[in-house]
Amino acid sequence: MRTDELIDALAADAGPAPGGVPARRLALTTLVGGLIALALVLLGLHARDDLAEAMATRFFWMKAAYTAVLGVAGFWACERLARPGASGRKAFWLAGGVLALYFALALFRLMEASPEARMPMIMGKSVMHCLGSIVMLGAPMLAVALVAMRDLAPTRPALAGFAAGLFSGAVCATVYGLHCGENAMIFVSAWYTLGVLLVGLLGALIGRWALRW
């Protein structure tokens, strides 16, 4: 076929692109992925018994805010990396900044505690359960996010996959907070972060070959 014939065919399909802009696709991903995680937490894991009391504490909301801001950074990184020629650098700086800030606060709290209380604060009671749950909850949303990203136009597949994983892992870690009964900032700073980064790594590995168009 001649190229000008192809152009005629494309011109017949002129007009706004169906499906909307990247931000809309990613907002839809948040909704679908977040609801799947919420259903899994409420029906599978069950909310923590002391949820009402916990919600009255500042720690509960600081934990939620931490993972939620990571999620916002992930969303932003995806929105940028879905566009050819754009870079997600600022979004990753936001993620790194909030990660460092929360870690500094957690470390300060840890140092306030007596030396023998520190190890139990770090290890909590549910490290493996926490890591496993965040990865399991994040996986369905990661699948939705990767499909959305593939329909957009990421030109750096592994990095875009990592952004999709960061985004999914952080949103689902926020939802997981409804179930998790851990009460130390250092626990969240260490293990929630690791769980989110594992989903990011999974996204990078899958994105490397799945985000081609």
Partner 1 sequence: MTDIETEMKALMLRGLAGDAPAYRQCLALLGVRLRAYFTRRMSGAPGDVEDLVQETLLAVHLKRATWDPSQPFTAWAHAVARYKLIDHWRRGRIRQTLPLDDHAEFLAAEAHDPGVGIELDRALASLPDRQRILVSDVKLAGLSLAEAGARAGISEGAAKVALHRALKSLAERMRRADR
User: Where does this chain bind partner 1 (CB under 8 A)?
Assistant: 1-22, 82-86, 152-153, 155, 212-213
Rounded to whole angstroms, the Cα distance separating 8 from 3 reads 9
The least CB distance from residue 71 to partner 1, in Å, is: 22
DSSP 17: P
The least CB distance from residue 119 to partner 1, in Å, is: 48
Rounded to whole angstroms, the Cα distance separating 70 from 167 reads 7
Rounded to whole angstroms, the Cα distance separating 211 from 148 reads 10
Residue 9 or 56 with smaller CB distance to partner 1: 9
The least CB distance from residue 203 to partner 1, in Å, is: 19
Cα torsion through 194, 26, 146, 6, rounded to 10: -150
The least CB distance from residue 98 to partner 1, in Å, is: 25
Residue 12 or 52 with smaller CB distance to partner 1: 12
The least CB distance from residue 157 to partner 1, in Å, is: 10
Residue 6 or 107 with smaller CB distance to partner 1: 6
Residue 13 or 112 with smaller CB distance to partner 1: 13
Residue 140 or 154 with smaller CB distance to partner 1: 154
Sign of the dihedral through C-alpha 114, 115, 121, 122: positive
Rounded to whole angstroms, the Cα distance separating 94 from 181 reads 27
